[in-house]
Structure 1
Amino acid sequence: MSATTLDIVAIGNAIVDVLARADEAFIAAEGVAKGSMRLIDTETAEGLYGRMAPGIEASGGSAANTVAGIAALGGRCGFVGQVADDQLGKVFAHDIRALGVDFRTAPRSDEPPTARCLILVTDDGQRTMNTFLGAAQYLPAESVDAEMIASAAILYLEGYLWDPEQPRAAMRAAIRIARENGRKVAFTLSDAFCIERHRGDFQTLIDRGEIDILFANETEIRSLTQIDDFEAAVAAVAGRVPLLVVTRGDEGAIAVQGGERVAVPAEPIARVVDTTGAGDLFAAGFLAGQAQGRSVGDCLTMGAIAAAEVISHFGARPQADLKALVAQRLG
């Protein structure tokens, strides 16, 4: 097995986030469940954008947020995701490269435009996401750079991107390359709606031993197993993957590896401002800890630190010095 030049390479949706404040009445009027994520078409995206309050635009996407966090923690990262040859595509590419992330995916010249996520944030910090996938759902298998995948210690895959056919084929190709080169594969279930649509595929990936690290939250682990009891749901999966990581919101997170369970509490913060990116940054902290060879407990703590930082401000990318925060807690 050759030496690695990257710690993590991620495949995910290349999205530009548009975040704006909204009250409960606005969300109810839109007919969307608060705190959920829904996919929308071009017409819906344009209409909602016109009704939203003034907001901020920033490069996003679940796995892209994760590699941004890993880079902030000193990790060596690559990212594979499809943008269009338009202004938002240029913004995304510039932003992720400016973080030091290796981003080689060529922009797509045809319609549709670059993906965007319209995020409504209520006063309690909950985010309701309305995602127009645009060009992101046309990531072809040919865009997977075999050399990049083979050079990374961990391949990280975003469950959101399993939905469209082309990216799903691209991720399957990446898994094969990672496996052929003795690399680990990490997978995040992303959202219950992804699981409802692709439960069979996800179960097959697990049972074939193609996933080394599985990330889920409480809702997702219950959906995957179709078991309401949290502990029973964890038990149903823990023995089937080498490392299971489950986040539990303000109750912290757990990990199960080789039959051994480790738990950490959530990091205390003064106020939850915006939960956008909490799971993404938790994965960033955890994977960065893995790349550094830390214990599972330390990896969980790093995830909790990164998640706490991102929910303390508006937006899904870290603003404070994550390396300093980790050093203060773990040395």
Structure 2
Amino acid sequence: MTETQTRLDILAIGNAIVDVIATADEAFLEREGLTKGGMQLIDAGRAEQLYSRMGPGREISGGSAANTLAGAAALGARCAFVGQVADDQLGAVFTHDMRAHGVRFDTPARAGDPPTGRVLILVTPCGERTMNTLLGASHYLPMESLDEALVREASILYLEGYLWDPEQPRAVMRHAIDVARAAGRKVAMTLSVNFIIELHRADLQGLIDQGLIDILFVNEEELLCLTQETDRERALAMVAPKVPLLVVTFGPDGAMAVRGGERFTVAAEPVERVVDTTGAGDLFAAGFLAGQAQGRSIEDSLRMGAIAAAEVISHYGARPDADLKALVATKLG
């Protein structure tokens, strides 16, 4: 099957999670012993306790790779998702939301405990989010959930770093990489967060050193963590030659892509007011990958990422509210 014969642009494997978002002041974070802007894993008991103390919340389906697909689909990409929910109310919510975004989602729900994963997100007045994650059923993704034919039919296999920690889904992703590369497909990965890098640095570096990753998404902190460097330039010099396309985000300072030694940069899109930074990196990846799937230049793909990221931080939740196609058409043509 050639590139032009693919039925999908992006197939992603990631956590299937529902976000519960509420506003909170810094005093609340202090009382609960939470680090502003951080992410911690919690068990079911702590999730129930924290939820009972939070203010009114908004339930919005999330998960890093799932958010990326929602944004990419909104931009016209043909997308499918592999992720595990439980056979419960939040699992039904997640399934409905993915399909409503136009993303193919066929993974059967898992019976019994643990429940569908959820992230309790506390947003302070400055727009910073503090995340408390119950991974739940998402970390019990079985090998039989992977449709190898679907992997071969997708131009890009996109892997979520958050899901690299548990053994069972990590095995699924490793197998998916083998299938994708055997079919001549591109493999993209987001490293997601520093603690995953710290736990699996040698493993992740091995994927990069072996040339198994074609597109790598990191933010600056993750790049420095991966390389154990303190200098951006030295870190870039260590990673960029090993990855055909390296994409690094710098928050309000924009982003950079490095391909074959050539650098491309983009400024962050202006935002009237930052409401909630949840999903900024996910939607940046959405715009970039959609641009690549459409055959656009690296520069235009970076712009699409910046446009999608700016839209998502202007409201609560990690999925787009506005018409991303229209925004891109207005700004890029």
Interval containing the TM-score (normalised by the shorter chain): over 0.9
Tell me the distance in 2 between the aligned counterparts of 1:298 and 1:147: 31
Question: In the alignment, is the contact (CA less than 8 A) between 1:141 and 1:171 conserved in 2?
Answer: no
* Structure 2 counterpart of 1:153: 155
Structure 1 segment 178-327 matched on structure 2, within 5 A:
178-327=180-329
Structure 1 segment 64-83 matched on structure 2, within 5 A:
64-83=66-85
Which letter maps to 1:236? M
User: CA shift at 1:302, angstroms?
Assistant: 0.4
* Structure 1 counterpart of 2:23: 21
**Pairwise CA RMSD:** 0.7
Which letter maps to 1:207? D
Q: 1:38 is matched with which residue: 37, 40, 47?
A: 40
Tell me the distance in 1 between the aligned counterparts of 2:221 and 2:149: 36
Unaligned runs of 5+ in 1: none
Determine helix, strand or coil for the equivalent of 2:87: coil
Count of residues in correspondence between the two structures: 331
User: CA shift at 1:286, angstroms?
Assistant: 0.2
Q: 2:176 is matched with which residue: 169, 174, 177?
A: 174
Determine helix, strand or coil for the equivalent of 2:233: helix
**TM-score when scaled to structure 1?**
0.99
User: CA shift at 1:141, angstroms?
Assistant: 1.5
Question: In the alignment, is the contact (CA less than 8 A) between 1:11 and 1:156 conserved in 2?
Answer: yes
User: CA shift at 1:56, angstroms?
Assistant: 0.3
Tell me the distance in 2 between the aligned counterparts of 1:286 and 1:40: 32
Structure 1 segment 117-132 matched on structure 2, within 5 A:
117-132=119-134
1:167-197 deviation per Cα after TM superposition (whole angstroms, max 9, x unaligned): 1011011111101111000000000011010
Determine helix, strand or coil for the equivalent of 2:265: strand
Question: In the alignment, is the contact (CA less than 8 A) between 1:18 and 1:116 conserved in 2?
Answer: yes
1:234-253 deviation per Cα after TM superposition (whole angstroms, max 9, x unaligned): 12111110000000011000
User: CA shift at 1:143, angstroms?
Assistant: 0.7
Tell me the distance in 2 between the aligned counterparts of 1:168 and 1:30: 32
Unaligned runs of 5+ in 2: none
Question: In the alignment, is the contact (CA less than 8 A) between 1:5 and 1:151 conserved in 2?
Answer: yes
User: CA shift at 1:110, angstroms?
Assistant: 2.4
Which letter maps to 1:227? E
Tell me the distance in 2 between the aligned counterparts of 1:208 and 1:33: 36
Which letter maps to 1:190? S
User: CA shift at 1:201, angstroms?
Assistant: 0.8
Tell me the distance in 1 between the aligned counterparts of 2:297 and 2:31: 47
User: CA shift at 1:330, angstroms?
Assistant: 1.2
* Structure 2 counterpart of 1:63: 65
* Structure 2 counterpart of 1:139: 141
Tell me the distance in 2 between the aligned counterparts of 1:142 and 1:201: 23
* Structure 1 counterpart of 2:166: 164
1:41-82 deviation per Cα after TM superposition (whole angstroms, max 9, x unaligned): 111111110111111001110000000000100110000000
Determine helix, strand or coil for the equivalent of 1:117: strand
User: CA shift at 1:26, angstroms?
Assistant: 1.0
Tell me the distance in 1 between the aligned counterparts of 2:135 and 2:121: 14
Tell me the distance in 2 between the aligned counterparts of 1:207 and 1:141: 25
Which letter maps to 2:175? A
Tell me the distance in 2 between the aligned counterparts of 1:185 and 1:25: 43
Deviates further, 283-292 or 35-44: 35-44
Tell me the distance in 2 between the aligned counterparts of 1:164 and 1:31: 26
Determine helix, strand or coil for the equivalent of 2:317: coil
User: CA shift at 1:32, angstroms?
Assistant: 2.2
Tell me the distance in 2 between the aligned counterparts of 1:32 and 1:157: 28
Determine helix, strand or coil for the equivalent of 1:239: helix
Which letter maps to 2:249? T
Matched, 1:110 2:112: yes
